[in-house]
Structure 1
Amino acid sequence: MAEIIKRSNHLRQDINRTKKELAAGVLATAISLLLLEVSQGFSIYIGIAALLHMVRLINDLEILQFGLKGENEVLSLLEKLPRNYKVFSDIHIVDGSKSSQIDFVIVGFNGLFIMETKHIKGTITGREEDNYLQKVKIGKNGERYTKRIFNPLKQIQGHKKGMDLFLERSGIHQEAVPMLFFSSDCIMHVKSKRVKVITEPVQVIDYIKRYRREDVHLSSSIQEHVVEALERL
């Protein structure tokens, strides 16, 4: 099994923060009810505002928990890589005003892989160079829902630039291999020449294990250097 190097997960932090905000909303609603007799109009206004805020927070909490569940499932998947691979999760690289939040970084003898995971259901269409793609989802009753989403291919390519610059500044002359994994029931109709797009879990492990380039071979010392640099983030 691959070595999973635990990191502080921003989703867990966001979930904890949202729970605290939700608790504060409950308290504000309770106080507004207690003050109803003292200042009826003002307390009703506070109560309605607090309730609306709580509804938004509950929705945000559900989305965050769904995302965390998905990331944990991907970690369990990556753990199935051979033991000479090391896996980092939730890597945050900052370069001046620019930053990259990378879901997973996998370090092995055959390359340094960065992987963005998307928990999207539906059919995605568009072009690689588009800033936004179109997601189409069919509801339970046959309704057709269409939504624009930011192009994840551009997102992972931005992460690659950030990682490559970080490696260069760390004295490591290697380029990251970008991967985009849709972990939910998703059909991707967008072709990419620069990013490996994967929609099946088994393909993740297979692609990483089989990946070969003549100019890419990370010796044990280089792998250690990469791991040490990532651990300092």
Structure 2
Amino acid sequence: MLWELLKQIWWLIPLFLIISFLKSPTFKGWFGEKMVEKAANRKLPQDSYHDFQNVTLATDEGSTQIDHIYVSRFGIFVVETKNYKGWIYGKVKDAKWTQNIYGKKHLFQNPLRQNYKHIKTLESLLDLPNGVFHSVIVFTGECELKSNFPVNICRLGNFTDYILSFDQQKLSDIQVQQICQLLTKNRLDNTLKTRHQHIQNLKKQHHK
């Protein structure tokens, strides 16, 4: 009898696994990054803004992973993506920000701090001053930004406008080309092994 019942509902098992995966942080993060990538490809001139997606670089602590880098004559735009729902609260100097979903509060790392570390890694790798870099945070999910956030905290619909608002040249065409070559040369291969090792590095850092 049990076997007959299992034969009737076996199809629920893969359905359950698919639904669980779609709700996982891994999928939500990947989907948010893809939305940013698609929007940038549509709105940023590709001959002027050279894109690098999901860049993992070696660091003294192990590795760091950067969602998006856009290299242009107007600077290097380092983009951190957050695919969140609910209300988002936080201050620039807070270590953690708050996500409030139906009264349930969850803390997450301040993405400005996250991106600060990314930019420091790029400064060292590319041997460039901090003024060349622009930190951009993009929230892609159905969330409301409830705090008085700075202008570089963007939504999916306006982050490209923010990037395009910079019109002061900071890099020459030759520098842009050299930067792109260095990023291509130094980024780690985008493989499951690289992603697994990066996750292990993060766990080690959090347990220090």
TM-score (norm 2): 0.71
Note the residue ranges of structure 1 that are not aligned, 5 or more in a row: 1-54, 139-143
Structure 1 residue aligned with 2:166, among 197, 211, 231?
211
> CA separation of 1:166/1:60 partners in 2, compared to 1, >3 Å: closer, same or farther?
farther
Mean alpha-carbon deviation: is it higher for 172-181 or for 101-110?
172-181
1:42-74 residue CA offsets vs partner (Å, 9 max, x unmatched)? xxxxxxxxxxxxx99984664222322222221
Structure 2 residue aligned with 1:82, among 45, 58, 62?
45
> CA separation of 1:197/1:145 partners in 2, compared to 1, >3 Å: closer, same or farther?
same
> Considering only aligned residues, what root-mean-square deviation do their CA atoms show, in Å?
2.4
Shift of 1:156: 1.2
The count of residues paired between Structure 1 and Structure 2 equals: 167
Kindly report which structure 2 residues correspond to 1:1-233, keeping only aligned pairs within 5 A, or say none. 59=20, 62-63=23-24, 64-80=26-42, 81-84=44-47, 85-138=49-102, 144-168=103-127, 172=128, 175-191=132-148, 196-199=152-155, 201-213=156-168, 216-232=169-185, 233=187
> CA separation of 1:69/1:126 partners in 2, compared to 1, >3 Å: closer, same or farther?
closer
> CA separation of 1:88/1:71 partners in 2, compared to 1, >3 Å: closer, same or farther?
same
Note the residue ranges of structure 2 that are not aligned, 5 or more in a row: 1-15, 188-208
Give the conservation status (yes or no) of the 8 Å contact 1:93–1:101: yes
**Equivalent-residue separation in structure 1 for 2:146 and 2:119 (angstroms):** 22
Task: Write out the 4+ residue segments of structure 1 that deviate beyond 6 Å after TM superposition.
Answer: 55-58
Give the conservation status (yes or no) of the 8 Å contact 1:130–1:151: yes
Question: For the pair shown, which has the larger CA radius of gyration, 1 or 2?
Answer: 1
> CA separation of 1:87/1:149 partners in 2, compared to 1, >3 Å: closer, same or farther?
same
Q: SS at the partner of 2:157?
A: helix
TM-score (norm 1): 0.64
Q: SS at the partner of 1:184?
A: coil
Q: Percent identity?
A: 25
**Equivalent-residue separation in structure 2 for 1:83 and 1:72 (angstroms):** 16
